A and B are shown apart, each in its own frame.
Chain A
Amino acid sequence: MGIDYLSPDYEVVRNPQRCIACRVCERQCANEVHSYDSEWKVMKSDDSKCVNCHRCVALCPTHALKIVKTDDTFKINANWTNEAIGEVFRQAGTGGMLLSSMGNPQPYPIYWDKILINASQVTNPSIDPLREPMETRTFLGKRPEKLERDADGSLVTDNLPPNLELSVPVLFSAMSYGSISYNAHESLARAARELGTYYNTGEGGLHEDFYQYGPHTIVQVASGRFGVHKDYLEAGAAIEIKIGQGAKPGIGGHLPGEKIVGDVSRTRMIPEGSDAISPAPHHDIYSIEDLRQLVYSLKEATNYKKPIIVKIAAVHNVAAIASGIARSGADIIAIDGYRGGTGAAPTRIRDNVGIPIELALAAVDERLRQERIRNNVSIVVGGSIRNSADIVKAIALGADAVYIGTAALLALGCHLCRTCQSGKCNWGIATQRPDLVKRLNPDIGSKRLVNLVSAWQHEIMEMMGGMGINSIEALRGNRLMLRGVGLNEKELEILGIKHAGE
């Protein structure tokens, strides 16, 4: 209270005619918004604690609840918005940085929504994926420079560079055990195995229970080197060096000591209660040559059997950086756009740093083609892939596959309340509290992830069929299949696509 009182952003609206006072909302809210007044025999709510995660709304058996944006407002000002004023008040009161979670929510352009996909009419027939073969399988990694045949004319297949085989061009992005729960990790791991794709450990190490999913795991090595040891590197199908993250390019990570408990501490190989601080840079990487040393150290450690991914955030000179990475010996470049999610990031960084993934992808693919090194690496993009059309557009712009993080969490129940940093996730995802973690049953979670990706796979096949294309390989970099709407000349030039009507 006091003079710094800020009215809550959202209000809990309860329909008293429908509420049966079963108190499910009260029991399910880790933020303790709801309470029961036994004297008046009614449910009450404290809006100031509500984060709008919709757990109570989803579980209310009589649909008596809704959450609405408050209409309480300071004097309307297009420049000094309510948010802007409130943030100043908060910082004047605390002296601290503002923290946020998940991806950049600001109204910047979404280029996916300004790109349209082609379809065949008359001259080149479309393909019906229900009747004809349609290939969504793809491989990530270096391509051989030339085909070789032996004396019998058979293809020589030894000494091929290590590749990842994906039955759909979708991987689950890096989310560490610690930032998300054990059950969230198990859901991702089981779904990746069932779908024939991969999930990513993030910088949290690999829990001993999940070594069984190793062939479908990408293990990450990031600047804090948490949880990295020989068995870990050998357990994964590929190793990812994380340089940057779309939500917070240029800065490191910080998992507070409260979350470093039990298995999280053991898996990260750091003492319980100690903050897990990932430095902003890798302290041994200050050049592409240094990066090459780490790439080859990891290859050496795993006997050159695993592809190495280098993940960077999409920033201004991403094309030049990607060119360097392609020459560093990495097999796959992962680029994370500015809409990419996070478990916690300074709000100013999340909302103002980085560039859209669509532009970064187009620029990187073009640059690598010009330099004739595109076949040295595969490109995986992430940072707000929201649906199968985004995937088709990404592949046509030049991506080999996409990472999905936020969409995967949504499938697990996340409602994007963007309060992961509090550690009180009511959906059992971004929390380590045992009573909350158990809310995510991996039997349900993995099934929902499989459903989501399978549904997208069907849609990708339909869209490819419509274009008369029958494989992901034939769609990749096929920018003639895209047209822009409402984009200026410069944007079209960077995206390498024509305007609709051209």
Chain B
Amino acid sequence: MKRVYVNEKWCLGCHLCEYNCAFANSGCDDMVKALKDVQIYPRIQIEQGNGINFAVNCRHCEEPLCVKSCITGALSVQDGVIHVDQDKCVGCYTCILVCPYGAVMPGPTGGVVQKCELCTNNSSGEPACVKGCPNRAIVFEER
């Protein structure tokens, strides 16, 4: 299955992926309208420090701990992609605690969680972080 991978060697820590992610998931067709004067909640996040940067998002594990631990069945695997059904999520945050990558996070309301669904749940078509990466550090490929 094609997944989003980040090559630390080329990641500049510019944070554009975070903004492209927030825009893609905003449901809005204008980035300024979507993101101006708002706190963003991107599903991909840059980890940085000591001159090292890399973007982290859901690994779509083959044996996902988040799905196993979900108490309401909100998390499920569909064609390899881990989806979250925000109608079912009760915001217990168990998935956030068990995810070894820190790739599940509270959504803007705090009441439910959100995570990368490879832009299958929005109109971006292909992962927006990959499309907008200026240095091809983030790739969407089979490995």
**A interface with B by C-beta (< 8 Å):** 17-20, 22-24, 27-28, 41, 58-59, 61-62, 434-435, 438-439, 441, 443-444
Interface assignment of B89: CB less than 8 Å from any CB of chain A? no
Q: CB within 8 Å of A: which of B106-143?
A: 132, 134-137
Q: How far is the CA of A435 from the CA of B48 in the complex (A)?
A: 13
Note all chain A residues with C-beta closer than 8 A to B132.
61
Closest chain-A Cβ to B5's Cβ sits at a distance in Å of 14
B137 touches A22 (CB 8 A): no
Q: How far is the CA of A455 from the CA of B90 in the complex (A)?
A: 57
24 contacts between A and B (CB under 8 A): A17-B32, A18-B32, A20-B31, A20-B32, A20-B35, A22-B15, A22-B19, A23-B15, A24-B14, A24-B19, A27-B14, A41-B37, A59-B16, A61-B19, A61-B132, A62-B32, A62-B35, A435-B12, A435-B51, A438-B12, A439-B12, A441-B137, A444-B135, A444-B136
B10 touches A24 (CB 8 A): no
Q: How far is the CA of A439 from the CA of B14 in the complex (A)?
A: 10
Closest chain-A Cβ to B19's Cβ sits at a distance in Å of 5
Note all chain B residues with C-beta closer than 8 A to A444.
135-136
B31 CB contact (under 8 Å) in A58, A61, A434: A61
Residue of A17, A41, A58, A441 ringed by the most chain B CB atoms within 10 A: A441
B136 touches A443 (CB 8 A): yes
Q: How far is the CA of A90 from the CA of B135 in the complex (A)?
A: 37
Note all chain A residues with C-beta closer than 8 A to B16.
22, 24, 59, 61
A24 touches B51 (CB 8 A): no
Q: How far is the CA of A441 from the CA of B133 in the complex (A)?
A: 12
Interface assignment of B45: CB less than 8 Å from any CB of chain A? no
B15 CB contact (under 8 Å) in A19, A24, A62, A443: A24
Interface assignment of B20: CB less than 8 Å from any CB of chain A? yes
> Which chain A residue shows the least CB distance to B35?
A20
Note all chain B residues with C-beta closer than 8 A to A19.
36
Known: A61-B20, A61-B31, A62-B32. A438 touches B15 (CB 8 A): no
Note all chain B residues with C-beta closer than 8 A to A28.
12, 14
**B interface with A by C-beta (< 8 Å):** 9-10, 12-16, 18-20, 23, 31-32, 35-37, 51, 132, 134-137
A27 touches B13 (CB 8 A): yes
Known: A20-B35, A61-B16, A443-B136. 18 other contacts (CB 8 A): A20-B37, A22-B15, A22-B16, A23-B15, A24-B16, A27-B14, A41-B37, A61-B19, A61-B20, A61-B132, A62-B31, A62-B32, A435-B51, A438-B9, A438-B10, A439-B12, A441-B135, A444-B135
Note all chain B residues with C-beta closer than 8 A to A22.
15-16, 18-19, 35
Closest chain-A Cβ to B84's Cβ sits at a distance in Å of 25
Closest chain-A Cβ to B134's Cβ sits at a distance in Å of 6
Q: How far is the CA of A441 from the CA of B12 in the complex (A)?
A: 11
B51 touches A434 (CB 8 A): yes
Q: How far is the CA of A22 from the CA of B13 in the complex (A)?
A: 12
Known: A434-B51, A435-B51. A20 touches B15 (CB 8 A): no
Note all chain B residues with C-beta closer than 8 A to A59.
14, 16, 134
Q: How far is the CA of A186 from the CA of B31 in the complex (A)?
A: 36
Closest chain-B Cβ to A246's Cβ sits at a distance in Å of 32
Q: How far is the CA of A19 from the CA of B132 in the complex (A)?
A: 17
Closest chain-B Cβ to A57's Cβ sits at a distance in Å of 13
B136 CB contact (under 8 Å) in A20, A23, A24, A441: A441
Note all chain B residues with C-beta closer than 8 A to A434.
51
Which 6 A/B pairs are nearest by Cβ-Cβ distance?
A: A20-B35, A22-B19, A441-B10, A20-B36, A441-B135, A62-B32
> Which chain B residue shows the least CB distance to A15?
B32
Q: How far is the CA of A359 from the CA of B89 in the complex (A)?
A: 76
Q: How far is the CA of A19 from the CA of B36 in the complex (A)?
A: 7
Q: How far is the CA of A414 from the CA of B2 in the complex (A)?
A: 33
> Which chain B residue shows the least CB distance to A447?
B136
Q: How far is the CA of A23 from the CA of B14 in the complex (A)?
A: 8
Q: How far is the CA of A488 from the CA of B6 in the complex (A)?
A: 60
Q: How far is the CA of A62 from the CA of B20 in the complex (A)?
A: 11
Q: How far is the CA of A22 from the CA of B36 in the complex (A)?
A: 9
Known: A59-B134, A61-B31, A441-B137. A20 touches B19 (CB 8 A): yes
Q: How far is the CA of A52 from the CA of B65 in the complex (A)?
A: 49
Q: How far is the CA of A443 from the CA of B134 in the complex (A)?
A: 12
Q: How far is the CA of A27 from the CA of B11 in the complex (A)?
A: 13
Q: How far is the CA of A17 from the CA of B35 in the complex (A)?
A: 12
Closest chain-B Cβ to A429's Cβ sits at a distance in Å of 13
